[in-house]
Amino acid sequence: MARPRIHDAELRSRLLQAAAETVAHQGVDSLSLRKLAAAQNTSTTAIYSLFGGRAELLVALFATSFASFGDAQRSVPVTGDFEVDLRELAAAYRDWALHNPHLYAVMFGGVLGSIDVSAEAELAASAMDPLRDVVSRAVAAGTMSGAPAELISHSFWAIVHGLVSLELAMPTNGDGETRRAMFDAGTESVLRGWMRQ
C-alpha cells in the first residue's frame, strides 16, 4: 500500500494562504517558518520540501498571488463589445481583490520588503494582458482614442486599482451597494474619458 502524500498541493495552498495573512497583517519580518508549520499542523521540513526556504516561500507567495489574479482576469468572457468587456474586467478585478485581500496586499501593499521578486516581473505584467488586449482592439477599431493603447490601459488600470485600494482600506461597515455604485461611477468616468465622442 502506497504511503499517503503529505507534502501535497493542498498543504502548499494552505501554507501560502496562512503566510499571506501573516505578512499582510503583521509584516514580512513576523513570518516564522516554525510558527507557520505549527499553525498548519505540519513540519518545517514540509515547508523546505515544498518551497526551499523562507525567501522562496515569499517569492512563491508573490507569484501565486499574481497567477490567481491573472486567472481571474483571463476568465472574463470576451464579448467583442469593448465597453462591456472593460466594465467586466474592472468588476472582476474588484471581486478578486475583495475575496483575496491578503493576496492583494502581497501584490501591491509593499509587504514583502526587500524580497527579490524581479524574476516574477513578467508574470505580474502578464496579469494585465486581458485589459491591454481589449484596449488595443478598441484603439485599432477607433472606438478609443487620444493616446496610445498602453497609456490608456495604464490609466484605466490606475483608476480601478485606486478605487479598489481605497475600498479595501476603508472600514468594513457600510453599504455594499453604495460601494459598488461608487466603484462603477469611477470606472465609468475613465471609460467615458477615453471613448471616442
The predicted-structure confidence for 107-122, as pLDDT tens digits, reads as follows 887 777 777 888 877 8
Closest CA relative to residue 12, chosen from 42, 55, 34, 35? 42
Higher pLDDT, 5 or 89: 89
Rounded Cα distance between 67 and 77, Å, is 18
Please provide the size of the chain in residues. Answer: 197
Number of domains in the chain: 1
In a domain, 3, yes or no: no
Residue 4 lies in a domain: no
Query: Is residue 118 in a domain?
Result: yes
147 and 136 in contact (C-beta within 8 Å)? no
pLDDT digit string (tens) for 80-102?
999 999 999 999 999 999 999 98
Which pLDDT belongs to residue 3? 39
Instruction: Let me know if residue 36 belongs to a domain.
Output: no
pTM across the whole model: 0.86
Q: What is the CATH number of the domain that holds 142?
A: 1.10.357.10
Query: Within a domain: residue 45?
Result: no
What's the distance, CA 21 to chain centroid?
14
Contact 118, 80 (CB under 8 A): no
Helices 149-169 and 129-141, packing angle to 10 deg: 140
Measured distance between the N- and C-terminal CA atoms of the chain, rounded to whole angstroms: 70
Q: Is residue 79 in a domain?
A: yes
Amino acid at 59: V
Check: CB of residue 51 under 8 Å from CB of residue 60: yes
Mind listing the pLDDT tens digit for each residue in 14-57?
A: 999 999 899 888 888 889 999 999 999 999 999 999 999 998 99
Q: Would residue 50 count as lying in a domain?
A: no
Q: Which three cell numbers stand for residue 177?
A: 451597494
Q: What is d(CA 197, CA 194) in angstroms, rounded to the nearest whole number?
A: 9
- pLDDT attached to residue 197: 54
Domain that holds residue 121: 60-194
- Residue-wise pLDDT for 119-134, tens only, equals 877 888 899 999 999 9
